[in-house]
Amino acid sequence: MRARVLISVALAGAFLGGCTGGPAAGRSGGRGGNAGAAGTGGGVGTGGDTGTGGDTGTGGGVGTGGAGGDTGAGGNAGSAAGVGGGVAGAAGGGSAGTTGTGGAVASCVKSLSGRYLVRTDGHLLHEADIRPETTVLDDGTGLPLADVTGAVQEGSRHGCAVLGTAQTAWCWRTAADGNNDGQLGNGSIDAFNVSGPVFRATQVLTAANQPLTNVAAIADGEDQAWGTSSVCAVTKDGRVYCWGTIAWLVNGGSTYLPFDSSYALPITVDGTTPFAGVVEVAVAGANACAVVKGASSNEVWCWGQDFHWVLGQGNAVTIRYPTKLKGLVNPTKVVMYGMTACALESAGGVRCWGNNSGGSTGTGTKKYGDDVQAPTSVVDEGGAALGGIVDLHGGEIEGYGVFCGLTTAATLQCWGVTFAEYAIPHGEANVVAVGGTEGGRTSVRYVTGDGLYHIGRYYRAPNCGLLQ
């Protein structure tokens, strides 16, 4: 049994920026039944007859409990008998109101991506461990960057995201030197020792005053230890563009030539023909992998510097242009962290390859240098192939990849250096979304069905509605 500290933060209530809490119902108690009506007195007897007794008082109606409220009170007794000797009305028969059901907690979390949290109003928060969350701002207006959709790439000193309606890509510094390699893609590269404002987003360009348009998604990927300064994006027509340090990705890659681009450049399959049919892409410094729509099913294609066999070809040589991997069955997602890559297959299995230090591939071994050369199934403790996975995210610790899969049972299965060399349960139930795992078991980020946002390590209370 592993010990851990868990932070659970309620993301509900009337937040600024349009995030609202649960319904008003569920706050007050239900009303009790109405009082019984007074008995009607008999008339005065004529000729000495006894007056007719009052009718029995009618009991109060059944009180209806408020949603989530206290129990309603019962009906009051009927009044005393009427004039002339009538019998007193009986006590009202109203029963207590039933206890209502509490209103559901509403979350303002739309999605998680690494340390980033996208709110339902499209604003983007960076949830760092060592400080309160920071809102990413539009550098031109000073207002929160809005309409953020899809994955957010978190490099070592920068971040990037896509704005849904505009279909454009935007990047920002997370450290003052976060554009020394052109990773903002806005046409500028900061000189050495020159810095700029952090968390101020600017638009990615393909040339001077020419925005990258029709953008569908930004590349997944984080590489703190290896210093990722490369960024890629997929357009709605299935093309890939990259910027930053991209020598291994766009110039043929046969030899290493330092090459930083402050503009987004197209990826090709032969130096001329655009790489097409791409659904999504992941990037880790000098290498990248993409999910491609094939003739009958999806495929994964990788290219770049094949360090630790992260390109999955089993030959550890530079691959100049995108090349199809073997051994995957209809992959739907690919992620790359710490020179380890993993693909989620449509049937719910996961296969990983590349750097296996600390058991990052989840394939049952963790001997240093025992890298996995081709896509291999992640297994559980008993050695059976992991299944039932519907989403996959990762992170890294000191250069080692750590991964967590969200299951059909709304639980987490995780593997890597702080877990094991095979997939093990993380221990939570009712998980609806999983984000970054960069701190291993103590920092897995996830949202549960009750609207709570969890960070595993620090006792800190991010406010989902706070605009800074």
Across 114-130, average pLDDT: 82
Within a domain: 119: no
Task: Say what the pLDDT of residue 420 is.
Answer: 94
User: 290 and 417, same structural domain?
Assistant: no
Within a domain: 123: no
Average pLDDT, the chain: 76
Task: Say what the pLDDT of residue 302 is.
Answer: 95
* Closest C-alpha to 228, from 161, 288, 188, 150: 288
Beta bridge mates, 452: 10
Task: Say what the pLDDT of residue 258 is.
Answer: 62
Across 43-50, average pLDDT: 37
Across 272-278, average pLDDT: 95
User: 256 and 334, same structural domain?
Assistant: no
pLDDT, tens only, 1-18: 333 333 333 333 333 333
pLDDT, tens only, 374-412: 999 999 999 999 999 999 999 888 778 899 999 999 999
Q: What residue numbers bound the domain in which 182 lies? A: 147-325
Task: Say what the pLDDT of residue 256 is.
Answer: 54
State the Cα–Cα distance between residues 390 and 386, nearest whole angstrom: 12
User: 333 and 321, same structural domain?
Assistant: no
User: 362 and 347, same structural domain?
Assistant: yes
Structural domain total, the chain? 2
Within a domain: 186: yes
Within a domain: 369: yes
Please identify, among 266, 296, 325, the residue that sits at the C-terminal boundary of a domain. Answer: 325
User: 255 and 346, same structural domain?
Assistant: no
Beta bridge mates, 358: none
- pLDDT above 60 for 81: no
Task: Say what the pLDDT of residue 259 is.
Answer: 81
Q: For 253, which DSSP code? A: -
Within a domain: 83: no
State the Cα–Cα distance between residues 30 and 62, nearest whole angstrom: 10
User: 293 and 164, same structural domain?
Assistant: yes
Within a domain: 54: no
Does the model's pTM come out above 0.85? no
Task: Say what the pLDDT of residue 41 is.
Answer: 38
Q: How long, in residues, is the chain?
A: 468
Q: Of 104-113, 181-190, 258-267, 359-368, give the lowest mean pLDDT range.
A: 104-113
User: 402 and 281, same structural domain?
Assistant: no
User: 417 and 390, same structural domain?
Assistant: yes
**Which is higher by pLDDT, 347 or 256?**
347
* Closest C-alpha to 320, from 380, 251, 382: 251
Please identify, among 285, 304, 325, the residue that sits at the C-terminal boundary of a domain. Answer: 325
pLDDT range class, residue 450, cuts 50, 70, 90: confident
Task: Say what the pLDDT of residue 98 is.
Answer: 37
User: 292 and 350, same structural domain?
Assistant: no
pLDDT, tens only, 140-166: 999 999 999 978 888 878 999 999 999
Phi and psi, residue 327, nearest 5°: 90, 10
State the Cα–Cα distance between residues 458 and 91, nearest whole angstrom: 59
Within a domain: 71: no
> Please, what is the end-to-end C-alpha distance for the chain in angstroms?
40
Q: Of 335-344, 427-436, 454-463, give the lowest mean pLDDT range.
A: 454-463
Beta bridge mates, 153: 160
Please identify, among 292, 325, 358, the residue that sits at the C-terminal boundary of a domain. Answer: 325
CATH code, domain carrying 192: 2.130.10.30
CB atoms within 10 A of CB 208: 7
Which positions ≥6 away from 251 have C-beta within 8 Å?
257, 259
User: 252 and 169, same structural domain?
Assistant: yes
Helical spans, DSSP H, in 199-351: 247-250
User: 397 and 421, same structural domain?
Assistant: yes
User: 153 and 277, same structural domain?
Assistant: yes
Within a domain: 134: no
